[in-house]
Amino acid sequence: MLIELFVTFFKIGLFSFGGGYAMIPVIEHEVGLHGWMGTGDFSEMIVLAGMAPGSLAMNSAVFVGYHVGGVLGAIVALLGMVLPSLILVMLVTALIFRMHKHPLYKSVLYGLKPIIIGLSVYAAIRFAGGSMFVGQWDGHTISLIVISLCALLALVRFKLHPVMVMALSGVVGVFLYQ
Amino acid sequence: MKQGRGKWWQLFLSFCKVSPVTFGGGFAVLPLIEKEILHRRQWMDEREFGEATAIAQSIPGAIAVNVAMVIGYRLAGMVGVLWATVGIVLPAFAIVLLMCLGFYHIHTWNWVNGALEGVKAAVVALIVYAAIRMGKSALCDKWTWVIMGGAVVGLLFLHVHPLLVMVAGALTGMGFASGKRVLAALRQSESE
């Protein structure tokens, strides 16, 4: 099981271009495939991973690892996430220093970057559909949509720090939903 | 290159210090690392740091960790890579692990669940915001929009494996580049 954890997150680590959010669908897919977590647990886990310091993808790996195999599982999952880029930097650094300007590599990134955005959009849709707006169009759902829109406005328009936005939404949540 | 200026334990300490405050992921972290490495330690100049972040973005993995690795390599070689990585990863990992341990206890508290419900709504906004920020540089022409749209459709309706979608995107990018080259060559031979 630990080996399975390691291999899975090594694979995810190898593909985790463009950081955190685009990796949510990938992790969700793998977690579902192995039957490690339910959808409810998973979205809760993403929320916690987003609130902790560090990268979202890496924190998610730690959470899933811990859920599956305790502290050892968490360590194994983290190693799986870190090793691909560590190996890349250590073994082929000289190559990377030249490669990141190579036309072929640039053309790969040209095609890959829109995919990363597509994955993020998909993650947002899934996350909203799976964890927030499951019910009907009642007051609860509408209030969640309002919070989301206010949070987006705060981020885009007023450049509020992501942690600040999460903290404020949490406070609103305490008053509305407890 | 300013090799040997940073001792490995100084690298470790510097990134250890940055790690626990790297909230908000990715690009929120870069200014913190910049402050520590450029202004406080003065190990690098702006140009070197810019190059390090460019490289960090073009390899897989979390950008903050990648930047730490590349800076570690630049300053102290392989040993530097290892210690910078341990420094940036370990404190955050410890905090997340504590959260794991604690969460199962406070999960039953009512106000915690209320707060989580609110934060969930905020996370949706955070994801959208990240997409918008990345889109500014990545969606540079109509073809990149098409690729992005195709990815969303494939994921949402055709349930294609996310990793497969990424491979398809990389191949499409390569195909486009060679297609452009062929077109340019054709045009050139026509004009001659």
Q: Is A139 domain-assigned?
A: no
Q: Are residues B81 and B115 in the same domain?
A: no
Give the closest of A14, A161, A174 to B60, CB-based: A14
Q: State which residues form the domain around B185.
A: 140-192
- Give the CA-trace dihedral at B140, B141, B142, B144, to 10 degrees: -50
Q: Is A82 domain-assigned?
A: yes
Q: Is A22 domain-assigned?
A: yes
A101 pLDDT more than 60:
yes
Q: Are residues B99 and B65 in the same domain?
A: yes
The reported pLDDT for the residue numbered B28 is 67
A133 pLDDT more than 60:
no
| Six token digits for residue A99 | 């490669």
**CA B160, CA A29: separation in Å to the nearest integer?**
10
Nearest to B36 by CA among B64, B58, B60, B57: B64
Q: Are residues B76 and B161 in the same domain?
A: no
Instruction: Grade residue B83 by pLDDT with cuts at 50, 70 and 90.
Output: very high
Q: Are residues B160 and B71 in the same domain?
A: no
Out of A12-26, B60-74, B167-181, least confident range: A12-26
Q: Which chain B residues are Cβ-neighbours of A100 within 8 angstroms? A: 54-55, 58-59
Q: Is A115 domain-assigned?
A: no
| Six token digits for residue A166 | 């999460």
Q: Is A80 domain-assigned?
A: yes
Mean pLDDT across chain A: 83
B88-A122-B141 Cα angle (round to 5) = 90
Nearest to A151 by CA among B132, B126, B113: B126
Q: Per the structure, how many domains does chain A have?
A: 1
Mean pLDDT across chain B: 82
End-to-end Cα spacing for chain A: 37
The reported pLDDT for the residue numbered B31 is 76
Q: State which residues form the domain around A9.
A: 2-104
Q: What ipTM was reported for this prediction? A: 0.76
Instruction: Grade residue A97 by pLDDT with cuts at 50, 70 and 90.
Output: low
**CA B67, CA A105: separation in Å to the nearest integer?**
19
Q: Is A14 domain-assigned?
A: yes
Q: Is A90 domain-assigned?
A: yes
Instruction: Grade residue B2 by pLDDT with cuts at 50, 70 and 90.
Output: very low
B9 pLDDT more than 70:
yes
Which of A55, A146, A148 to probe by mutation at the B interface, max B CB count within 10 Å? A55
Out of A9-23, A85-99, B89-103, B175-189, least confident range: A85-99
User: A52-68: buried (b, 16+ CB within 10 Å) or exposed (e) per residue?
Assistant: bbbbbbbbbbbbbbbbb
Nearest CA in chain A to B110: A178
The reported pLDDT for the residue numbered B4 is 47
Q: Are A159 and B94 in contact (CB under 8 A)?
A: no
Q: Are A110 and B178 in contact (CB under 8 A)?
A: no
Nearest CA in chain A to B23: A53
The reported pLDDT for the residue numbered A78 is 93
The reported pLDDT for the residue numbered A130 is 66
Task: Give the whole-number percent of chain B exceeding pLDDT 70.
Answer: 92
**CA B171, CA B179: separation in Å to the nearest integer?**
12
Q: Is A174 domain-assigned?
A: no
The reported pLDDT for the residue numbered B90 is 92
State whether B152 and A121 contact (CB < 8 Å).
Answer: yes
Residue type at A49 in one-letter notation: A
B164 pLDDT more than 50:
yes
Give the closest of B24, B69, B150 to A89, CB-based: B69
Give the closest of B20, B121, B171 to A147, CB-based: B121
Q: Are residues B30 and B100 in the same domain?
A: yes
DSSP string covering A55-117: -HHHHHHHHHHHHHHHHHHHHHHHHHHHHHHHHHHHHHHHHHHHHTT-HHHHHHHHHHHHHHH
State whether B23 and A56 contact (CB < 8 Å).
Answer: no
Burial of B31 (0-12, 13-18, 19+ CB in 10 A): exposed
Nearest CA in chain B to A140: B117
State whether A48 and B166 contact (CB < 8 Å).
Answer: no
Contacts 24+ apart (CB under 8 A), A165-172: A165/B122, A165/B125, A165/B126, A166/A50, A166/A51, A166/B119, A166/B122, A166/B123, A166/B126, A168/B122, A169/B118, A169/B119, A169/B121, A169/B122, A170/B115, A170/B116, A170/B118, A170/B119, A170/B122, A171/B115, A171/B118, A172/A147, A172/B118
pLDDT of A148-165, one tens digit each?
899 889 888 888 877 788
Q: Per the structure, how many domains does chain B have?
A: 3
The reported pLDDT for the residue numbered B1 is 40
**CA A86, CA B156: separation in Å to the nearest integer?**
32
